[in-house]
Amino acid sequence: MSYTANSTRYQNMEYRRCGKSGIKLPAVSLGLWHNFGDVDVLENFRNTLKTAFDHGVTHFDLANNYGPPAGSAEENFGRILHEDFKNYRDELIISTKAGYYMWEGPYGEWGSKKYLVSSLDQSLKRMKLDYVDIFYHHRPDPETPLEETMAALDLIVRQGKALYVGISNYHPEEAAKAFKLLRELGTPCLIHQPKYSMFERWVEKEGLLDLLEREGVGCIPFSPLAQGLLTDKYLHGIPEDSRIAKGVGFLTENNLTEEKLNQIKQLNDIAQQRGQKLAHMALSWILKDPRVTSVLIGASKPEQLKDSLQCLNNTSFSEEELKLINGILG
């Protein structure tokens, strides 16, 4: 049976302007970093995407190496897009990235024009698409001249393979240079994707958010729940089905120190006083900043996605709450 999207899908989602562009993104976007590879259940993946779109989530974020195995998230996404979302392509913002290791030899990672153009060609084939809406350079390359990497992004837009370009994991100094080069080439940077959460606040400390505001570039943080630490999952120890227990991702038992656990418990108390779960508060806390365009969440099943969207019910914080939170986070 063909999929028909919910007719009221745009009524309850907030859409925010992405920097000084013509693009608006949903306040919550779905990242396909985990849970969408060949090791996962395709029907679950399909239902999660439909649930997201039915709730006004129009932005799906991928990368060449998402899986596992690398490439399989794009392949699975392409299949579902082709089977279920064909009629809705123009209502979607689809992004992908290249920068991390993807294939053997000297042209399979980092930031050369050769790698970026080849990688996007492969991504488009996997997703059965003519173009993506946003193409990112996934991480700075210390050896390739930034001029070459930015020229590759400009070329990709001129070839019609992407409508907009972005960067990810760039610190302010590198980002400022990248923005200047792209502006001079005539393809301004649309968006920056940094790692940002209550536990990882370098974007504030290093002035990245200020830079993005000055430059008119959007911001879409990833890992807003610190790989699951900013949820109620670890309040009473390490559950068997958790990422730490399974050894999935970057979280290890060493991340869950006594001090960290104490912070999580105190933050959870504030969340409860606000009538929120800790995860909802952690997402709301990022969205409170008008410089943030959207926040990227992951979801292993439709119910988890619907639960995360409850963060939109309360994105304002009192001065007192912010003071308490900053006190806990030190």
DSSP-assigned letters across all residues of 71-133: THHHHHHHHHHHHHSGGGGGG-EEEEEE-S--SSSTTSSTT-HHHHHHHHHHHHHHHT-S-EE
Q: What pLDDT, on the 0 to 100 scale, is given for residue 255?
A: 74
Q: What pLDDT, on the 0 to 100 scale, is given for residue 243?
A: 65
Q: What pLDDT, on the 0 to 100 scale, is given for residue 269?
A: 97
Listed residue (167, 74, 147, 159) closest to 117, CA to CA: 159
**Would you list the domain boundaries of the chain?**
15-227+279-318
Stretch 11-31: mean pLDDT, rounded? 98
Residue 235 burial (CB count, 10 A): 11
Secondary element (H or E) of residue 24: strand 24-26
pLDDT band of 246, cuts 50, 70, 90: low
Rounded (10°) CA dihedral 299, 300, 304, 305: 40
- Kindly report, residue by residue over 65-115, the tens digit of the pLDDT: 999 999 999 999 999 999 999 999 999 999 999 999 999 999 999 999 999
Q: How far apart (Å, rounded) are the C-alpha atoms in residues 189 and 180?
A: 9
Residue 32: HSE in the Cβ half-sphere, 13 Å Cα cutoff: 35
Q: What pLDDT, on the 0 to 100 scale, is given for residue 254?
A: 73
β-sheet with 295-297: strand ranges across: 218-219, 189-193, 162-168, 132-137, 93-98, 59-61, 28-31, 295-297
Does 3.90.1150.10 match the CATH number of domain 15-227+279-318?
no
> What are 86's two structure tokens?
């064909």
Stretch 35-59: mean pLDDT, rounded? 96
Amino acid (one-letter) located at 270: I
Q: What pLDDT, on the 0 to 100 scale, is given for residue 2?
A: 87
pLDDT exceeds 90 at position 219 = yes
Query: Do 274 and 320 contact (CB within 8 A), yes or no?
Result: no
